[in-house]
Structure 1
Amino acid sequence: MPTSSASPSEGTEAMNTLRDVGEFGLIRRVTADRVQPGTTLLGPGDDAAVVEARDGRVVACTDVLVEGVHFRLDWSAPDDVGRKAAAANLADVAAMGAVPTALLVGLACPRDTPVETLEGIASGLWAEASSAGAGVVGGDVAAGPAIVLSVTALGSLEGRPPVTRAGAKPGDVVALCGRIGWAAAGLDVLHRGFRSPVAVVGAHRVPEPPYAAGPQAARAGATSMIDVSDGLLADLGHLAAASGVTVDVSTSALVVPPRLVEVASALGVDPLEWLLTGGEDHALAATFPPGAVPEGWTVIGGVTEGDAAVLVDGAPHEGAAGWDHFAG
C-alpha cells in the first residue's frame, strides 16, 4: 500500500525505514521508557519475559491481523492498527472472565516500511494494553511482503474458574455488554469511499471492548461467555454449539442507535443487520441464570433445550450470520 513505503520526495528523514534502523534499533525505539504493570516481572530485552501468575494458571490467546485483510493504512492511522490488534486479543481474555496481564507481539513487514509507521503501531499496542491494565512484554520482528501482526495475550483468572462457551443451560438468559454494529457500519461507509461520520468510521478503526465486564460477569455467575468478533449471531452460534443448546435472540431488545439509523438510511441498508451480523466491535455476550445479570449488561434473549442453533425472534436467520475468513 502507498503508506507502507516512503517516497523519495519526502526527504532524508522520511527514508528512516526498518532497513535503516534494523531489528534491534526498532525494538529499542518501541520499548524505551515504557511503563509496565506490576504483573510484569521481567519485560522486553531478554530471551523471554516473566509475567506473574498468582494462582498458577494463565489464560492465553492469539490473533493475527494482516494488512489488506484486517486493516488498511489508507483507512486507519498506525496507532489505530496497534490499538485494534491489541483489543482483538484482550477482549478474548476478558471473555474467559480473566483480567489481561500481558501482550506478546510478532511483527512481519517490508524492509522499506517507515519507522514512523511501526512506532505508531507500537504506540497503539502499548496504549490499548495499558487501558486494560496489561503490558507489552516481548515479541519478534521479521521481514515480510506486507505488515502482519500476530498478538498473543495473557490473562489472570484471579482464582476463579474460567467462563467457557460450553456452560449455557436451558432457562438461562442471554445478555450483552458493549456496542455492536458500529464497526460494520464504519466498514460499509469506508467501502463506499467516505470518511465520515467520524464516530462510525472510528468504531471500525478502533474497537472499544468492555474489558472489565468479563471478570464482572464471572463474579456474577455467568454460565458461558464469548467475545463478539465475527458477528453476534455467528458467535452465539459457537456458544450454542459448545453448550448443546438453542439460543433465541429478541430483536426488540436490540436498540439501533440513531446514528446508525441515519447512516443506514443514507446507504440504503437495514441497520439491524449490522447489529446481528457485524463483527469487530468486540462486545461480550454471556448467559446468566435469571436474576444474576450484572449492571451494565442488557438481556437480549434466552436459552432453551434443543439442537445447537441460534434463532432470531423464534425463527432461523436468513443469510450469513457473520464473518467467515474462508467463505467464498
Structure 2
Amino acid sequence: MSVAQAGEFGLISRVVARLGQPGPAVLLGPGDDAALVAAPDGLIIASTDVLVEGRHFRRDWADAADIGRRAAAANLADIAAMGGTGTALLVGLCAPGDLEAVWAEGLAEGLAVEAALVGASVVGGDMTSSPTLTIAVTAFGDLRGVAPVLRGGARAGDVVALAGRVGFAAAGYTVLSRGFRTPKLLVDAYRRPEVPYALGPAAARAGATSMIDVSDGLLSDLGHVAAASGVGIDVLPNNFEVPDQMRDAATALGVDIYQWLLTGGDDHALAATFPPGSPLPEGFRAIGEVREGAGVTVAGKRWIGPTGWDHFKS
C-alpha cells in the first residue's frame, strides 16, 4: 500500500501506532491540535533539522528505521550539546504519493527508538505530498535546572575534549559511495550514529565552558566555538583513537584518514572545553587546547582544504 492509498489520516494512524508510549515529560501527545510537554524549570531548548533524500540520505544505503534514527539523532544531539536532555520531537514528513506506507511506518519506529534513548517521545507533526522525500524534525529539551552551555564561553588555557566518535560516519559514507558494504563498523556508523547523549548534561555539571555537537566536521564546528568565544583552538591529531578497520579502509580507498577524523560529519560527537586542571567527565578525552588568537589549527599549523560540510558549498 502506498501513502496515497493509505491517505493522510490513515497514514497518521499507522505511524502514531508505532511511536510507543509517551515519555515522562509528555502530558499530551499526538491526537489534539497541539502537544503538551512539561518544562519543570521553565526553560525549553529547541532545535530543528531537515533531511532531504539524495542530499542527506539514500534509501538504498539505509532502511527506513535507520533514517528515522539519524533524523532524531541530529536534533537530540543539539539538545545534549547545550547540556540538556531531549523531551519531545515534532516531525514533518513530505513524501511522494507512491512511497510505500510501510516505509513511513519504519521511519516512525526508528524515530521512536532513538528518542527513547533519552526518554523523549514523538508528540506530533505534519504530513504532505512532495516530489522529494523530506523529513523535518524539531526537538525540545529540558535543562533540569542546569545553566545552558553555549559556544561562546571558551577561554585561553581551557582543555578541548571530545566525547563520542568522529570520522566513522564519514568513512562509512566513503565506503558506500565506492560501492562497498564493509567494514560493517563504518557502514553502520553512517546508518545509525551513536550519540553520547548523557555526556552533554554531565559536561554541564562538570563546568564545561563551551560545547558543540560535531555534525559538520570537527574543525568546522570547533571553528564556530572559536569564533563565538573570540579565541583560537589547536587540535592535537595524535590524541584520537582510531580503529584498525578505519585505518585499513583508508589505505584501501586511498584516503587521508585525518580527512575523515577532522572534517567528517554525522557522528554527532560532543566537543567541549573545560577549565585547565579540572577533571574531565568520564567519557571525554582531551584532544587539544584553547589559545589566544583566532581560528582552528592542527598541531599548530593551518589546515589546508575544507574543514567540514557546508550545505551550500558541498
For 1:295, the equivalent position in structure 2 comes to 282
Verify: 1:24 aligned to 2:9, yes or no.
yes
* Mapped partners of 2:164, 2:24: distance in 1: 27
Other structure's SS at 1:310 match: strand
Other structure's SS at 1:166 match: helix
For 1:77, the equivalent position in structure 2 comes to 63
For 2:293, the equivalent position in structure 1 comes to 306
Aligned-residue sequence identity (percent) comes to 59
* Mapped partners of 2:182, 2:283: distance in 1: 29
* Mapped partners of 1:158, 1:325: distance in 2: 33
Corresponding residue to 2:158 among 172, 192, 195: 172
Corresponding residue to 1:39 among 19, 25, 30: 25
| Matched AA of 1:302 | E
* Mapped partners of 1:327, 1:203: distance in 2: 24
Give matches, 1:215-226, under 5 Å.
Answer: 215-226=201-212
For 1:260, the equivalent position in structure 2 comes to 246
What is the CA-CA distance between 1:160 and the residue it aligns to? 1.1
For 2:172, the equivalent position in structure 1 comes to 186
**Structure 2 segments unaligned to the other structure (5+ residues):** none
Give matches, 1:239-250, under 5 Å.
Answer: 239-250=225-236
> Is the Cα contact below 8 Å between 1:229 and 1:282 reproduced in 2?
yes
What is the CA-CA distance between 1:292 and the residue it aligns to? 3.3
> Is the Cα contact below 8 Å between 2:152 and 2:229 reproduced in 1?
yes
What is the CA-CA distance between 1:127 and the residue it aligns to? 0.6
What is the CA-CA distance between 1:216 and the residue it aligns to? 0.3
What is the CA-CA distance between 1:109 and the residue it aligns to? 0.5
TM (norm. structure 1) is 0.94
**Structure 1 segments unaligned to the other structure (5+ residues):** 1-15
* Mapped partners of 1:323, 1:296: distance in 2: 26
For 2:189, the equivalent position in structure 1 comes to 203
> Is the Cα contact below 8 Å between 1:49 and 1:137 reproduced in 2?
yes
| Matched AA of 1:296 | G
| Matched AA of 2:98 | D
Verify: 1:95 aligned to 2:78, yes or no.
no
What is the CA-CA distance between 1:227 and the residue it aligns to? 0.2
Could you list the structure 1 runs, at least 4 aligned residues long, displaced by more than 4 angstroms after superposition: none
What is the CA-CA distance between 1:133 and the residue it aligns to? 1.2
* Mapped partners of 2:129, 2:67: distance in 1: 18
Other structure's SS at 1:300 match: strand
Other structure's SS at 2:153 match: coil
Query: How many residue pairs end up in the alignment?
Result: 312
For 1:122, the equivalent position in structure 2 comes to 108
> Is the Cα contact below 8 Å between 2:24 and 2:119 reproduced in 1?
no
What is the CA-CA distance between 1:144 and the residue it aligns to? 0.4
Instruction: Provide the aligned C-alpha RMSD in A.
Output: 0.9
| Matched AA of 1:159 | G
What is the CA-CA distance between 1:255 and the residue it aligns to? 2.5
For 2:142, the equivalent position in structure 1 comes to 156
> Is the Cα contact below 8 Å between 1:256 and 1:272 reproduced in 2?
no
* Mapped partners of 1:37, 1:19: distance in 2: 31
The one-character-per-residue Cα deviations of 1:153-173 (angstroms, maximum 9, x if unpaired) are 000011111101000011100
What is the CA-CA distance between 1:23 and the residue it aligns to? 1.0
The one-character-per-residue Cα deviations of 1:20-60 (angstroms, maximum 9, x if unpaired) are 11111111111126211110000000000000000111000
* Mapped partners of 1:31, 1:246: distance in 2: 47
